A and B are shown apart, each in its own frame.
Chain A
Amino acid sequence: MTNEDRPTVYDVVIVGAGPSGAVAAKRLAEEGMSVICLEQGEYPDYTKLRHSGFEFELTKNQYFASNPNRRKAPSDYPINVNSSDVEPLMWNGVGGSSVLYAAAWHRLKPSDFRVRTVDGIADDWPLNYADLEPFYTRVENDFAVSGVGGDPAYPPGFDIPLPPFPLSEMDRKLAAAHDRLGWHWWPGSNSIATVKHNGLLPCVRRGACTWGCFDGAKASVDRTHWPACIKLGVKLVQNARALRVETGSDGLATGVTYVDRVTGRTHFQPGRTVIVSANGVGTPRLLLNSASSDHPNGLANSSGLVGKRLMMHPYGTVSGLFDDFFENWQGPYGQRSYSLEFAETRKDTNFYRGAKWQLMGMGGPLATVGTWPWGGNGDVWGENFHPTVQKRFGRSAYWGIMAEDLPNEENMVSLDPDLTDADGMPAAKVTYKASQNTWDLLHYNQERAVESMREAGAYETVVMPLQRETGWHILGSVRMGDDPRTSVVDSFGRSHDVPNLFVMDGSVMPTSGAVNPTGTVAALALRNSEAIIENRRSQPVSNAAEALRVGP
């Protein structure tokens, strides 16, 4: 092999260009490390979104649908969900799922890191709120978080860098109701710029957030991080689907084998350190597919926990119908406001942990005869059509109830024995059942949310217990911990088995909390990256990767 044929050995090979991969790529490149990122998709084409005309509602789910099994884009891989109560949702391209996320932004609470200590169930994290706090603060700036600081649902210090959105009539109604009920309520915190910041423009509130933000205000990392990464010299390879993380005879990772989806050719990309940031389904899929004679059960899997303990924040809704007409269709689609009143374990209930409630936009007229958040829509046609539209459009609001999910080894991601993606890589199979604790938790919170809506003036409420296509948050399937027997990676995302292999996405979370996870995912990726930088001189590197090294 001549030097020209040899691939460059990078300091770091990252799989996945979503928030976790992007945060790591940027920070490591800032310190002068050479970084290459393999991403199975491309940059999103925002021109495919009809964000401003009356066509918006009709077309929004065409290219920017969040369920990969429906979207079936070339970069997607199939996920067998036959044995799952909840379907995982994601975007497979540069920016990852932040291209579609609603951008509701949260930190975990201190108790979320200490579930075993506080409640005697599940597990504690190998780090705590104080450990993560400085990293939360830094990523909140990078992700242009807007809102209001001083929320008493958090310890002091959760200061939000950008100003909030104006309160809407919907917020006012629910805030007043919670004042009367004595319950917590807070203006929404979102990773959406309200003023020009970090390459983002101020949000114009068209509400396309979960179908791609054409107006350039939402902090998706294709906008907030990748331009900076490219300037820093990070090589981003699009259409590169990682098939396996390879290891040498010394047991260390040597790099990643990937298929170029355009040419169909397979390549090996060597690297001194490998980071997998492919999300809670994609990461265990890749590690399990990296099985070899040395790692027959998949890479980094001596604990047997790769893929297990999947958590997806089961989600229900409570909608309220009101007599008066108010704007309920504009953005931000994410959260206008939220309540953490019922987010901790309570003494008066039969379940552990709690839920976050988020007050959401309802969409335009077409949404009033759709299924979300109304459940079935079989009976809205014919003579019911107009009364339904009149009742719901501009006269409704809903609480999304996000349940803290507890880990259970039977909820898992595995490789499907039969199904493959277009490149022949085994598809992911998701096995997931909501627990009795989840059902009780949702039931209790929905009853309280009905009270909240009634107090706000709703004359009727519609409760949807657990919605299936709500797997936005894919967590826990490569858990972190101090003990290699009961965890896959350590508190810095480093594999116990393969010390130059890191996992940096929500799959490392030992418990899920009840809030949207990207703040935590990004803060963990930043913390892990700082640890890589600090330890770079002592980082073990595979001899095989070193042998391939080209140049100095």
Chain B
Amino acid sequence: MYNIDDFQTRIAWVAETLIPSDVKSGMPSATEAGVPGRLLPRALKERDDLAPSFFKALLRLPETRPRDPLDAIRALGADDFHTISFLIAGAYFLDEAINRKLRYPGQEALYETPDYDEIMEAIERVQARGSVYVDVPEGRGSA
């Protein structure tokens, strides 16, 4: 069993390296969004299947931020890099405020009905261009 509290120093630099803040879009970094303390524990609970490999991979990283932090995470290899980056990004996108900024409402239930007039107009234009299949002589072929 791993305890997330034992990994906080590593998580802080890893999360910040993968998701720094961005002035242009006004998006916060992983730490500013609350990944280490609030969101990552939730993500790890949701994906308890990935949690052991996440911590195992973290253990292979230095405790404190190395000089080339992204290279250090990449050096873990594709599988571990994937586990770490997927869980950090997955945790980041659990946050409501982040999603609001992106204009992502989540996978909503929608009850719109189709506009038949629009659909008919659109398909009539396609039909007017004629058929696009090859008509073949029917009857049994050689099998």
Contacts and interface: CB of A to CB of B under 8 A. Distances in A.
Contact of A166 (B19, B89, B109, B115): B115
B132 A124 contact: no
Given A58-B94, A126-B143, A166-B114, A152 B136 contact: no
A101 to B, nearest CB: 18
Interface in B88-131: 89-91, 93-96, 98-99, 102-104, 106-115, 118-119, 122-123, 125-127, 129-131
Interface in A201-220: 202, 204-208, 215
Interface stretch (A8-16, A136-144, A244-252, A380-388): A380-388
Contacts of A417: none
A78 B122 CA distance: 46
Contact of A364 (B104, B118, B133, B140): B104
Given A152-B126, A205-B110, A167 B118 contact: yes
B46 A344 contact: no
B11 interface: no
Contacts of A552: none
Contacts of B134: 109-111, 118, 344-345
Interface stretch (A232-240, A481-489, A526-534): A481-489
Nearest to A365: B93
Interface in A21-58: 50-58
Contacts of A387: 22, 24-25
A364 B141 contact: no
B19 A385 contact: yes
A352 interface: no
A186 interface: yes
A491 B137 contact: no
A128 interface: yes
A204 B111 CA distance: 6
B83 interface: no
Identify the interface centre among A53, A166, A387, A394: most chain B CB within 10 Å of its CB. A166
Given A111-B133, A364-B93, A56 B46 contact: no
Contacts of B112: 166
A150 interface: yes
Given A54-B93, A54-B96, A394-B104, A205 B125 contact: no
A152 B132 contact: yes
A389 interface: yes
A113 B22 CA distance: 55
Contacts of B5: none
Contact of A152 (B107, B118, B131): B131
Main secondary structure of the interface of B (DSSP, over half): loop
Contacts of A111: 133-134, 136
Contacts of A175: 122
B123 A128 contact: no
Interface in A351-395: 364-366, 369-370, 377-378, 381-383, 385-387, 389-390, 393-394
A366 B107 CA distance: 12
B106 A56 contact: yes
Interface string B38-59: 0000010011010000000000
Contacts of B3: none
A116 interface: yes
Contacts of B47: 58-59, 62
A152 B130 contact: yes
B107 A56 contact: yes
A187 interface: yes
Interface in A116-134: 116-118, 123-130
B27 interface: yes
A53 B42 CA distance: 13
B96 A152 contact: no
Interface stretch (A177-185, A256-264, A304-312, A446-454): A177-185
A237 B95 CA distance: 43
A80 B127 CA distance: 46
B136 A386 contact: no
Contacts of B93: 54, 57-58, 364-366
Interface string A148-173: 10101111000000011111000010
B6 interface: no
Contact of B132 (A52, A62, A340, A482): A340
B90 A182 contact: no
B142 A124 contact: yes
Contacts of B126: 152, 178-179, 184-186
B138 A184 contact: no
B104 A329 contact: yes
A185 B126 CA distance: 7
Contacts of B102: 365, 389, 393-394
A325 interface: yes
Given A58-B43, A110-B135, A393 B104 contact: yes
A383 B20 contact: yes
Nearest to B141: A124
A129 B138 CA distance: 8
13 contacts: A59-B47, A62-B49, A117-B141, A124-B142, A124-B143, A128-B141, A153-B132, A166-B114, A179-B126, A205-B108, A381-B19, A382-B20, A383-B20
Given A54-B93, A150-B127, A182-B129, 6 more contacts: A59-B46, A152-B127, A165-B114, A206-B109, A340-B133, A389-B27
Q: Which 8 A-B pairs have the closest CB atoms?
A: A124-B141, A386-B22, A126-B143, A58-B90, A204-B109, A206-B107, A481-B143, A166-B114
